[in-house]
Structure 1
Amino acid sequence: MPAALEDPFYYLQNFHTLLDWISERYSDLLVAEERAFIDDFRALPRASQALLVRMVMRKGALFRASKLNYAEIGDTRQAAAPLVELGWVNAHPLLDLSQLFGLITLGEVDACFGKASGRKAERLEALLADHPEPRTFADWYPASVDCVYALGLMDICDRLRLMFFGNLYQDWSEFVLADLGIYQYEKVEIDASARGFRERTDLDYYLRLHHWRERFDAGEPLDELLPALPLEPHPNPWLDARRRKLLFQVGQHCERGALLEAALGLYGLCEYPGARVRRIRVLERLGAYADAFGLAQQACAAPESEEEDQHLVRILPRLRRKLGLPKAPPVESAPVRRIDLVLPQPPEPLSVEHAVLLHFHEEGAPVHYVENTLLNSLFGLLCWDAIFAALPGAFFHPFHNGPADLLSPDFHARRAPLFDACMAQLDNGEYQASISRTYAAKQGLLSPFVYWGNLDGELLEQALACLPAAQLKACFQRILADIKANRAGLPDLIQFWPEERRYRLIEVKGPGDRLQDNQLRWLEFCARHDIPVEVCYVQWADS
């Protein structure tokens, strides 16, 4: 067991680490309630601190005392007493019938309400009408010597967790998973001033977006939600990116629900990747063909991405027809070699990709299933130092698997000299040794690009021997140009001829399958850069 977990109070130490980190970096952002909590928590007996942290780290806010048995804490009620005195825990909360049923067993339902047939959910449904008023646990279940605690601190603890992580999807388990070595993070020198939130209003704004999204996901009516949707840009670029993404997703929801005018307005406000082409499509659905064509022409003159350009190639001919305009010259695409195979139906669970792998694999020409993993991994290994550079706002706690601004528009620009130095190694021949060193030194550390489980030493050796530096550089530059879009869509298989120092990429399509848009873009890119790539279409012999 790791030394950090040998201490039975390891989770409490982790909580103190979080509080110390926040006190050091966010003291000016804390409100009086949060400062008081930190001070009062530190003054508690250790057993009371530990019990509170155990409750905070569990799901829900209601706990039976009998279920809070921890050897290192000892007597649960004694440890809970200071928490009750501070008002952080309620020892006599009112419970409605549904909450009660969430805490007791079916046998205890019989003890409270008399024996009856039926499952627990059926018993609850049958009893709801006769028991509308909430009661304490003792009133519901007088025969029990147990009690129920209600934790009333989750809002504060969630805000502290948000300050530390900069998000609400990471939680306390990160500490334990890191201590166990399940997750291993690159150690980045984090300045004492590094933090995700600059001002208290930033934190409040994040929570505002989060709560709006919770209400949206819960299915609240849009006419009640839309007036509270934050439409104005936020000065914090990171938070404004979250706002723009939310507006785009709500616009998609409106578009799917045929609320086209609302969708059009939201797409026009959010300036999110893909929003402009969605506006064009909505204008087309509204019959505003001239407006749609004008916006499409504007986009065509300066497309925001290859993906947008790809959509415009399909949209513009359709709009030209609807407006009675002459056809534009067809866009020529680079040819990609096609392979047609008829193979025996493989036994489950062998996939079509692995069936093709076995078909082409030879002793002197091995085939590997790599999909998006190989080229991304090679890029991540070559550019490791640039990706994990300790720039302001990139890292602000120890549990980042990559920089916080990875998908920001200025990610590359902020690190341009660092990436230039990495790419230069592809010109001077140093890249092979550099990638191999990083592969050995950083083995197992989390990265947004490196897939350790798919990259063994043999595959790495063959890739470095067979993939030309110029083609690697072209692929790496494409990934860097649009990380979100271009990390995916790469061909499924790679075959090497090590003695000849050559290779080919193979995209596999089973019966009825078709090429996705991001795959088409990668195939077009490969063809333009003389990267050997083929598309293999498979039919089963017994079909």
Structure 2
Amino acid sequence: MTANPLDDPFYYLNNFKQVLDWLEHRYADVLSVEEQRFIHEFNQLPRESRALLVRLVMRKGVHFRASKLHYVEIGDIGCAVVPLVALGWIDEQCPLSIDALFNVLLKSEVLQCFGVAIDQPKGKKSDWLPALTEQFPEAKSFNHWCAALNERLFSLTIMGLCDRLRLMFFGNLYQDWSEFVLADLGIFTYEKVDIGADSRGLRSRDDVDACFFLHDCQVRFESGEDIADIVEQINSLTLPNPWLQRRRGKLMFQIGQHCERMSHFSTAISLYRDCAYPGARVRLIRVLERCAEYQLALELATHAEHAPESAAERQHLLRVLPRLRRKLGGPAMKRAPARQMLRLDLQLPRIDPSLSVESHVLAHLAQTCAPVHYVENSLINSLFGLLCWPAIFAPLPGSFFHPFQRGPVDLHAEDFHARRADLFQACLAELDNGRYIQTIRDRYTAKWGVQSPFVFWGALSEELLDQALDCLPAEHLKHWFNRLLMDIKANRAGMPDLIQFWPQDKTYRMIEVKGPGDRLQDNQLRWLEFCHEHQMPIAVCYVQWAEQSA
């Protein structure tokens, strides 16, 4: 073994082997016969053949020209490929359409192979494709198309199988083999979590197939295929796995949003009505109102009013209920007056148009004795993430599936806090006894750079950390942290842009900045209201540019 994994020229083969060993150990009962056979046969191959296969699997596409493959550690590609062809994992006679062929040929080579059939040889390569596709509709092998090139083309036949293995390991298909290299280079560092042998997202073969199918449905939806057909197939799935149920719910919610944007309201209503994903009920009320189904919308909103699923839903209901009652002929209802916010009105010269309005306000307000930092969502989230690190990264079943996770997969699940209630309580208890200051400082040093869903390392300097711990009361931190835990997805955002400290007085002020014509967003209004409720110093700063008023 070498000190640095990347010093080994076969580092990528070692990484691939690590995945196969992990899957054999944890997913033996889930692997198909085909996948088990692949792992067994792969391990029997000569090292150079294994390395070549992994190199190709990690590259883009499935068709590779032999003349373009140069790997010093592998040596003779022609020798290394022989066992792979014998196993059928690489095919040299794979039928190619003209479209696929164009992706592996240079313009000069297209002319060489199809010159007689091309009317305008000085045109663009892409311009030739439609006519050639019409003339040559049948797929043929590379050698048949391009015998004159005296070239070999290797086509991978097992990319689908390797994608399934990758899906089982990562639990998704957006992470790929580069995760190993990024970790080895130190670009990404992940918390070392003790992942139990029974902790896995996909518990059965049906789960694997369903997860792969949901991914395919997502791709088809995003490529613009017929929605009715996709929805019908998604609805046909039986998913006992809660993790996959959440995935399906999210996809159905996204499709519902698309239908709503396209004014396909009947489909959107059907999707939202059957969707348990957070926010679906609010969207359903909204669409019913747009369709003038005021009575149905009112009944649903009244039901939701008794048990709102989140602060965001409660905020929406406060707006929609009076409007729906009025549209149904009911008496006008007085809205609660908006709380008066401390307001700063500034007229500033626009010194540098490339700088944000927040940067201009920061420069204007900052003093030596009262520094100002642009923090937005970074500071409170980071302090929470550092203090509650043990709870966030607790190795609960169903939370961590592999070593490359930025956080637990159930972070946005309804029971995320409940499953870790005792752990979070122990962390937050340090705010009562004063230990939190040293804990956060120690963890800042010990965990620096480790991936976290809450800690913004690039925004959290030692100076900012020291000032925050010195000036932010523990009581206020506790209020913020408890609010985060109420609805992590919604409450991680919307926090004020700037924070100003007065270290001598151990006080602070948060400032939400609004440029000309900018308005407070819903999540920002909820945070402002929360801060006022708990008597936290906060202001809204409205900026006008001096040039515009001259």
Partner of 1:250: helix, strand, or coil? Answer: helix
Quote the Cα distance in structure 2 between the aligned partners of 1:158 and 1:139: 30
Answering whether residue 219 of structure 2 is matched by residue 218 of structure 1, we say no
Quote the Cα distance in structure 2 between the aligned partners of 1:458 and 1:237: 43
Alignment of 1:223-372 (within 5 A): 223-230=228-235, 234-372=239-377
Answering whether residue 40 of structure 2 is matched by residue 39 of structure 1, we say yes
Q: TM-score, normalised by structure 2?
A: 0.96
Quote the Cα distance in structure 2 between the aligned partners of 1:2 and 1:346: 51
More displaced 10-residue stretch of structure 1: 368-377 or 100-109: 100-109
Please report how far the alpha carbon of residue 327 of structure 1 lies from its aligned counterpart in structure 2 after TM superposition.
Answer: 2.5
Please report how far the alpha carbon of residue 233 of structure 1 lies from its aligned counterpart in structure 2 after TM superposition.
Answer: 6.3
Asked if the contact 1:230/1:243 (under 8 Å) is kept, the reply is no
Partner of 2:414: helix, strand, or coil? Answer: coil
Answering whether residue 190 of structure 2 is matched by residue 185 of structure 1, we say yes
Asked if the contact 2:210/2:237 (under 8 Å) is kept, the reply is no
Answering whether residue 126 of structure 2 is matched by residue 125 of structure 1, we say no
Quote the Cα distance in structure 2 between the aligned partners of 1:53 and 1:219: 32
More displaced 10-residue stretch of structure 1: 219-228 or 149-158: 219-228
More displaced 10-residue stretch of structure 1: 430-439 or 133-142: 133-142
Which residue in the other structure is 1:479 paired with? Answer: 484
Which residue in the other structure is 2:77 paired with? Answer: 76
Answering whether residue 493 of structure 2 is matched by residue 488 of structure 1, we say yes
Answering whether residue 454 of structure 2 is matched by residue 449 of structure 1, we say yes
Please report how far the alpha carbon of residue 356 of structure 1 lies from its aligned counterpart in structure 2 after TM superposition.
Answer: 0.6
Which residue in the other structure is 1:99 paired with? Answer: 100
Answering whether residue 31 of structure 2 is matched by residue 23 of structure 1, we say no
Please report how far the alpha carbon of residue 263 of structure 1 lies from its aligned counterpart in structure 2 after TM superposition.
Answer: 1.5
Render the CA deviation track for 1:154-207: whole Å, top value 9, x for unaligned.
Answer: 111011111111111111001010000000001111122222111111111111
Please report how far the alpha carbon of residue 135 of structure 1 lies from its aligned counterpart in structure 2 after TM superposition.
Answer: 2.3
Which residue in the other structure is 1:53 paired with? Answer: 54
Answering whether residue 441 of structure 2 is matched by residue 436 of structure 1, we say yes
Answering whether residue 145 of structure 2 is matched by residue 144 of structure 1, we say no
Render the CA deviation track for 1:199-249: whole Å, top value 9, x for unaligned.
Answer: 111111111211112211111122333321226662211111111111211
Quote the Cα distance in structure 2 between the aligned partners of 1:110 and 1:215: 35
Which residue in the other structure is 2:465 paired with? Answer: 460
Please report how far the alpha carbon of residue 142 of structure 1 lies from its aligned counterpart in structure 2 after TM superposition.
Answer: 2.2
Which residue in the other structure is 1:424 paired with? Answer: 429
Please report how far the alpha carbon of residue 301 of structure 1 lies from its aligned counterpart in structure 2 after TM superposition.
Answer: 1.4
Letter in 1 for 2:305: C
Render the CA deviation track for 1:2-27: whole Å, top value 9, x for unaligned.
Answer: 61000000000000000000000000
Partner of 2:274: helix, strand, or coil? Answer: helix
Render the CA deviation track for 1:292-342: whole Å, top value 9, x for unaligned.
Answer: 111111111111101001111111121111111112342244321111111
Partner of 1:295: helix, strand, or coil? Answer: helix
Quote the Cα distance in structure 1 between the aligned partners of 2:100 and 2:212: 26
Residues 349 and 256 from structure 1, CA distance in 2 versus in 1: closer, same or farther, beyond 3 angstroms? same
Quote the Cα distance in structure 1 between the aligned partners of 2:277 and 2:251: 9
Asked if the contact 2:234/2:248 (under 8 Å) is kept, the reply is no
Please report how far the alpha carbon of residue 256 of structure 1 lies from its aligned counterpart in structure 2 after TM superposition.
Answer: 2.1
Quote the Cα distance in structure 2 between the aligned partners of 1:481 and 1:464: 23
Asked if the contact 1:344/1:540 (under 8 Å) is kept, the reply is yes
More displaced 10-residue stretch of structure 1: 269-278 or 459-468: 269-278
Please report how far the alpha carbon of residue 288 of structure 1 lies from its aligned counterpart in structure 2 after TM superposition.
Answer: 1.9
Quote the Cα distance in structure 2 between the aligned partners of 1:226 and 1:476: 38
Gaps of 5+ in 1: none
Letter in 1 for 2:499: I
Please report how far the alpha carbon of residue 126 of structure 1 lies from its aligned counterpart in structure 2 after TM superposition.
Answer: 4.1
Quote the Cα distance in structure 1 between the aligned partners of 2:383 and 2:340: 27
More displaced 10-residue stretch of structure 1: 142-151 or 31-40: 142-151
Alignment RMSD: 1.5
Residues 280 and 232 from structure 1, CA distance in 2 versus in 1: closer, same or farther, beyond 3 angstroms? farther
Quote the Cα distance in structure 2 between the aligned partners of 1:29 and 1:260: 41
Letter in 2 for 1:493: L
Letter in 2 for 1:79: A
Quote the Cα distance in structure 2 between the aligned partners of 1:435 and 1:507: 26
Partner of 1:270: helix, strand, or coil? Answer: coil
Render the CA deviation track for 1:86-135: whole Å, top value 9, x for unaligned.
Answer: 01110122222121111111222222233810122123234332222222
Render the CA deviation track for 1:368-416: whole Å, top value 9, x for unaligned.
Answer: 0111100000000000011111111111211111111111111100110
- Stretches of 4+ moved more than 6 A in 1? none
Letter in 1 for 2:5: A
Letter in 2 for 1:80: V
Partner of 1:419: helix, strand, or coil? Answer: helix
Please report how far the alpha carbon of residue 528 of structure 1 lies from its aligned counterpart in structure 2 after TM superposition.
Answer: 0.8
Quote the Cα distance in structure 2 between the aligned partners of 1:27 and 1:87: 24
